[in-house]
């Protein structure tokens, strides 16, 4: 079983503004760029790099001000992930779920908020143990949580547990007998929690998204949250914002790869006109993807600013996120696959490690197949029809929504 990973003691910076968060992300990304290739090649657990993430203060930027955080919004968060995604797709994915579990705490009890917000402000990170193989939906879980005295017992198995191996807390989704899913925040090192280092991936190796086993894991009631009790519109907006991080990682990855390609062309004595044209074409597409990502972030913030947002605001945000994914999830792998076309002759050592760009972005893009997003966007704009998942989140009785998503 994994040894306990202690909570940092006030070791994290406090980032109070958008500008400070962006500067911290740039500094962190610069360090990640130096080691990303070796982490991938050596299949090394990126503990030092993730410790630096904890110290940066970035993990706490979305904690509300009333709970001691800076309360920065989706626009700032997405800008951070555009920067981190440009540095390394795999390392950038590790904290993606963390921010979803920070959002979950908005509906938690005060004592739960005090404990977990405090740890995040000190530099702690949430991993995740959500996904299960061969399940029909996110709510169709075998992992069970049952009352046990003044707490709960959890039994089950998870896979694709991104970041859990190196996190201080491992939030677990488990099904209660009442049919609702609970989120249990399990401290890394809790008896019965086994985090396996069995991630044998084609790409995204640095995420170490291995298997999590839970055998009679006991969790105090103060560390269990029923997120389903929250307002459907607010929950939809939060979910949209968290999913937008994936699009930001892909768009950032494209920008990062194109910056490398531009550097190579700039070093050439006489850059090929064909290559210059292709670089310009791809860069224009990357700027378009980035613009869609930023537009979606504005719509997420607009939905979150309302205590009980009407369905139109979170719906607009959710559709905009799918639109951003529809472009970014295709562009990231495309740019990475063409990167070798720009590499200079003789750059053998550098070319040998360039394969990770494509392996990472292609593996990450399979997280949420782009054909699903494009079909949902097309069905909405043609027929006004929502995906079953989005309809369920908004708790709508009818699948037809007359108002189309628009910019804020």
Could you read off the pLDDT of 312-335 as tens digits, one per residue?
Answer: 899 999 999 999 999 999 999 999
Rounded average pLDDT over 39-51: 94
CATH of domain 18-121: 1.10.540.10
CATH of domain 231-394: 1.20.140.10
- Asked if the model's pLDDT at residue 139 lies above 80, the reply is no
- Asked if the model's pLDDT at residue 138 lies above 80, the reply is no
Could you read off the pLDDT of 90-123 as tens digits, one per residue?
Answer: 999 999 999 999 999 999 999 999 999 999 999 9
- CA dihedral (157, 162, 168, 172) in degrees, to 10, reads -40
Q: Where are the domains of the chain?
A: 18-121, 144-228, 231-394
- Asked if the model's pLDDT at residue 68 lies above 50, the reply is yes
* pLDDT of res. 152: 98
More confident residue, 344 or 33: 33
- Asked if the model's pLDDT at residue 349 lies above 80, the reply is no
Q: At a CB cut-off of 8 Å and minimum separation 6, what does 82 contact?
A: 248, 251, 252, 255, 290, 293
Could you read off the pLDDT of 110-119 as tens digits, one per residue?
Answer: 999 999 999 9
Q: Rounded to an integer, what distance in angstroms lies between the CA atom of residue 288 and that of residue 291? A: 5
More confident residue, 385 or 15: 15
Confidence at 7, pLDDT banded by 50, 70, 90? low
Rounded average pLDDT over 151-175: 96
Could you read off the pLDDT of 231-268 as tens digits, one per residue?
Answer: 999 999 999 999 999 999 999 999 999 999 999 888 88
Q: Rounded to an integer, what distance in angstroms lies between the CA atom of residue 91 and that of residue 205? A: 9
> Cα-flanking dihedrals φ and ψ of residue 40, to 5°?
-65, -45
- The closest alpha carbon to 149, from 68, 236, 216, 95, belongs to 216
Angle at the Cα of 351 (from 350 to 352), degrees rounded to 5? 90
- Asked if the model's pLDDT at residue 405 lies above 60, the reply is no
Q: Which two tokens stand for residue 122?
A: 């000190």
- Asked if the model's pLDDT at residue 173 lies above 90, the reply is yes
* pLDDT of res. 408: 42
Q: Which two tokens stand for residue 94?
A: 């590790």
Q: Which two tokens stand for residue 376?
A: 């949902």
CATH of domain 144-228: 2.40.110.10
| Terminal C-alpha separation, the chain | 48
Q: At a CB cut-off of 8 Å and minimum separation 6, what does 140 contact?
A: none
Q: At a CB cut-off of 8 Å and minimum separation 6, what does 356 contact?
A: 36, 37, 40, 41, 203
- Asked if 167 and 209 count as a contact pair (C-beta separation under 8 A), the reply is no
Q: At a CB cut-off of 8 Å and minimum separation 6, what does 143 contact?
A: 132, 154, 155, 156, 157, 158, 172, 173, 174, 175, 214
* pLDDT of res. 351: 61
Rounded average pLDDT over 297-308: 89
* pLDDT of res. 2: 39
- Asked if the model's pLDDT at residue 309 lies above 80, the reply is no
Strands (E), 205-267: 212-220, 224-225
Decide whether 144-228 matches 231-394 in CATH topology: no
């Amino acid at each position: 079983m994994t040894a306990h990973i202690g909570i940092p003691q006030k070791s994290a910076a406090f980032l109070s503004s958008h500008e400070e968060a962006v500067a911290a992300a740039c500094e962190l990304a610069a360090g990640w760029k130096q080691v990303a290739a070796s982490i991938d090649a050596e299949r090394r657990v990126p503990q030092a790099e993730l410790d630096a993430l904890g110290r940066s203060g970035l993990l706490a930027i979305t904690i509300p001000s009333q709970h001691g955080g800076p309360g920065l919004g989706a626009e700032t968060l997405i800008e951070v992930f555009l920067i981190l995604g440009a540095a390394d797709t795999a390392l950038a994915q590790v904290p993606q779920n963390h921010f979803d579990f920070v959002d979950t705490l908005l509906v938690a009890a005060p004592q739960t908020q005090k404990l977990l917000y405090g740890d995040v402000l000190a530099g702690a990170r949430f991993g995740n143990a959500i996904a299960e193989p061969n399940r029909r939906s996110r709510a169709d879980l075998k992992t069970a949580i049952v009352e046990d005295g003044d707490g709960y017992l959890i039994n089950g198995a998870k896979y694709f547990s991104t970041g859990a191996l190196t996190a201080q807390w491992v939030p677990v989704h488990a099904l209660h007998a009442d049919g609702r899913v609970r989120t249990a925040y399990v401290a890394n090192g809790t008896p019965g929690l086994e985090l396996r280092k069995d991630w044998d991936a084609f790409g995204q190796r640095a995420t170490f998204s291995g298997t999590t086993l839970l055998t009679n894991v006991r969790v105090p009631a103060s560390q269990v949250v029923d997120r389903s009790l929250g307002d459907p519109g607010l929950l939809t907006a939060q979910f949209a914002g968290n999913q937008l991080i994936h699009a930001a990682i892909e768009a950032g990855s494209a920008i990062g790869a194109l910056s490398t390609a531009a550097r190579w062309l700039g070093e050439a004595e006489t850059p090929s006109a064909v290559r210059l044209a292709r670089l310009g074409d791809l860069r224009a597409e990357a700027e378009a993807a980035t613009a869609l990502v930023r537009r979606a972030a504005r719509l997420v913030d607009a939905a979150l600013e309302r205590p009980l947002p009407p369905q139109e605001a979170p719906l607009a945000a959710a559709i905009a996120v799918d639109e951003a994914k529809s472009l970014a999830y295709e562009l990231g792998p495309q740019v990475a696959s063409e990167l070798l076309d720009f590499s200079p002759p003789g750059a053998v050592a550098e070319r040998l490690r360039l394969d990770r760009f494509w392996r990472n972005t292609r593996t990450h893009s399979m997280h949420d197949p782009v054909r699903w997003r494009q079909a949902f966007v097309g069905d909405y704009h043609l027929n006004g029809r929502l995906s079953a998942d989005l309809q369920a989140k908004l708790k709508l009785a009818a699948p037809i929504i007359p108002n189309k998503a628009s910019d804020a």
